[in-house]
Each structure stands twice: as structure tokens, then as C-alpha cells.
Amino acid sequence: MDMLLNGKAAVVTGASRGIGLATVTALVGEGMKVVAAARTVTPELKETGAIILQVDLAAADGPRTLVEAALAELGELDVLVNNVGGGDGGAVGGFLSFDDPAWEEIYNLNLFAAVRTTRAALPSLVRQRGAIVNVSSNGARMPHAGPVPYTTAKAALTAFGKALAEEFGPQGVRVNTVSPGPVRTAMWEDPNGYGAALATSMNLEREQLVAGLPAAMGMTTGRLVEPAEVGTLIAYLASPLAGSTTGADHIIDGGSVKTA
């Protein structure tokens, strides 16, 4: 399907792997000029052909630096994908196990990085009547299902997207949210990631935990979500084909969330 994105310009954050990498691949495949922002540059990201900018978006000035560099490369921006997030690796305790620095670190990466990047990019997006896609989590709807700072930060990100859609819709900017469930990424497959830490806390092997995750999460598809599936959804929401879709939260979690 031609998503009518050929020649348009995008910025994707958290682009080195997983959902970010899949999104860059999808957008480049549609003929877009893509600036891929990542703290760590991977060989897989280099292979996409995107323009890579190495930046730490958890730093207060990182988002502004990214957008200024992207505008210098691209001229204007048609699409912003706020994908950067995480900070939940090893965070398997309950509410009382997180001190202020832990909350600040997780909110900085999962909420304020998107806030700052969006603030810097919006003037160009307004001029281009562009689109923003924020990558949240189905944990925003089930905040008990993961580390409390992480899931509540994602809930705030989802609300942020809805507020932006209302304010900037009359200026031609569409804003949507994608909320994945468990995706086959390093979060679950890295021996040092969140999945490994969670498995250890449950006296399980990581492979055992991951194999049982779809059933435990009520995923009716019986498998983890693939990054490419999320990347394709993001590309569609960024495209003119979704011109009347805004302010929406699109769950892609294999049927894990059962409520409307």
C-alpha cells in the first residue's frame, strides 16, 4: 500500500532497536527522509539509510538539539514519532522500592523527552500541517501491570497526546498514540533487560517467562507483538491515509486489554 509519504520528512526518537528501528525501516520504505535519533548507534540502524543523530534525549537540552539538527538536515518536519522510552530494566519492585531519583529518571525518559521534543518540533509541524505519533504502552491502561513509575509515565504520555490533538488539531496537526503490549524487543529478550530481572524475581528462567507471557497477559493471539507490526501502524497513522484519525489511542497488544 502506498501511504502517500514519499518525499516527506520525519524524526523518530529511540531509533536504535525494537519499535524505533522498525518505525524507521517502515518510513524509509515509504520514501520518507528520516532523521533517526538514538543514544547508541547500532549496525541495524545504519543499514536503514536514515540520517542518524546521536543524542541523549534524557538530557534537558537533548530534544532541542535534535530538532535543530533535524531542521538543518530536512528543512521542515512532516512527522514526529516520540518513541524513546524505557528505564524499566531491573525495576521490578513495588511502589515503596522507588525513590525520587528513580521516578525522575523514568519520567524524564518516558514523558519529558516527548514533551521537550514536541515543543521544539511543533512550529515546523504546524507549518507543514503534520502528524505526531507517541508510543505509549497498554500499561497506561493497566498501571498495576508493570513498574508504577513506568506505567504512570506512559499514562501521562497518553493524556499528553490527547491534549495536543485538541489544541493543535485546528492548526492542522494530527496527534495519535500507539500503545503496544509485550513486543519482541530487548525489553524481554536482553539477558540484562526487564524481562530477565522479572524472571529472576519470580525464580524463573528468562526464556520460561517469555514463553508464558502471552498466556499470562491474556493475549488471545498467543504470541508477542512483532516490532514491524507496530512500525507499520505508526507509519499508517503518520500518513495522509489517516487524515481523519486524531486524538486516538491505538492498542496493539494481541488482545491483552479486554475493556473498550
- In 3D, which of 220, 209, 210 has the Cα closest to residue 253? 220
> Grid coordinates standing for 192?
540484562
C-alpha–C-alpha distance, residues 73 and 79, integer Å: 14
* CA-to-CA separations, 123 to 76, 80, 95, 187, in angstroms, rounded: 9, 12, 38, 34
Contact assessment for residue 92 and residue 147, using Cβ atoms and an 8 Å cutoff: yes
Whether 150 is catalytic is yes
Return the pLDDT at 145: 79
Q: What is the mean pLDDT of residues 229-239?
A: 98
Helices (H), 85-193: 100-107, 113-128, 148-168, 186-189
Position 91 confidence tier, pLDDT thresholds 50, 70, 90: low
- In 3D, which of 1, 89, 13, 81 has the Cα closest to residue 45? 13
pTM above 0.75, yes or no: yes
Domain boundaries, the chain: 9-181+226-245, 184-224
CA angle 35, 54, 59 (to 5 degrees): 110
C-alpha–C-alpha distance, residues 58 and 77, integer Å: 22
Assigned CATH topology for domain 9-181+226-245:
Rossmann fold (3.40.50)
Position 89 confidence tier, pLDDT thresholds 50, 70, 90: low
Secondary structure class of 164 (helix, strand, coil): helix
C-alpha–C-alpha distance, residues 59 and 112, integer Å: 10
Neighbours of 119 (CB within 10 A): 12
Is it the case that residue 97 has pLDDT exceeding 80?
Answer: yes
Q: Which conformational region is residue 31 in: left (phi greater than 0), alpha (psi within -120 to 50 degrees), or beta?
A: left
C-alpha–C-alpha distance, residues 75 and 77, integer Å: 7
Position 161 confidence tier, pLDDT thresholds 50, 70, 90: very high
Contact assessment for residue 50 and residue 35, using Cβ atoms and an 8 Å cutoff: yes
Helix, strand, coil shares of the chain as percentages rounded to 5? 50, 15, 35
Active-site pick, 107, 150, 194, 236: 150
Please state which of the ranges 27-36, 84-93, 119-128 shows the lowest mean pLDDT. Answer: 84-93
Neighbours of 74 (CB within 10 A): 19
